[in-house]
Chains A and B, each alone.
Chain A
Amino acid sequence: MKHIVKILTLLVAITGFWIGLLQTSVIPQSHTWLLPIYFVVSLGCYGLLMVGIGLMCFPTCPQEALLLQEDITEAKEYLKRNAVDVRSD
């Protein structure tokens, strides 16, 4: 099944549930009418929140940059001794 079909199925299920709510009016109709808006807004908030959290906890590794510099020096020395042309230009 294509992925878009899965997502559409999910949407149809949610819509079905919503229509059900509208008809049975378990909660006041005026609220039910607003539910799709809540849904979209909370989806957007979720996205923004996840991006925000991701940014704040972005894993960084400054020490790796230093280690890489050491590796580069070591590699250059070895390669130079073995006739590989590693002059930087």
Chain B
Amino acid sequence: MSAFLEITEVGKRFNGTTVLDDVNLTVDKGETVVLLGPSGAGKSTLLRCVNMLERIDGGRIVLDGEELGWRESNGVMRELSGRAEARQRQEIGMVFQSFNLFAHMTVLQNVVEAPVGVLRRPKREVIEEAHELLKQVGLDHKADAYPAQLSGGQQQRVAIARSLAMHPKLMLFDEPTSALDPELVSEVLDAIKHLAVTGITMLVVTHEIGFAREVSDRFVFMENGRVVETGLSRRLTVEGAENARTRDFLSKVL
């Protein structure tokens, strides 16, 4: 049996330092998995490898039966061309810690840019859908504002809408609320919560354990580039966790 997203024995080194060490992780279709772990554990690197923003040094990542970043031909693995890589990324949404909205475009233009420019969908249809997506994150009234005129929480909600406009198979979130003032965290978490129930597949890096317990199905705990423990998210309590390292981490963040 194979999962929707299969990360198998993935390794990654930066200048000789091992950052990901033989990482195995699966996410089923429609599942929400949270990735936990102390700073420097390699969580961001793992997400970036899935999205091919970093090239893996070993192992493989398969999404919905398709190997990411490489293709097999005549018994050898060949790295994909930039264009083929870009095509695979169309199906993977990514939300960054620092939002990364296009600063020179309005909110609406941010959402519309890729579906029109990359997928070549009709502009009118995409604009209509963009307004719909912005409504879902409660920001349609800001459609003509520029990112600099929005709060961090609003920017992050636009970034979520922008990703969804591509109808991705998989959504990756890298600490989507870590750059936000405390009072803005819940509006972004709420937006992600709404997504979880739509049945989209999500892999979320977060330090919000309460949110993780409520929204996700499973957790994966990483440390020093290795997966230390995986389990059901309702076990995300100091007593519930099995591994001593996980328990130690949870006792610090809870």
**Do A and B originate from a single complex?**
no
A residues neighboring B (CB under 8 Å): none
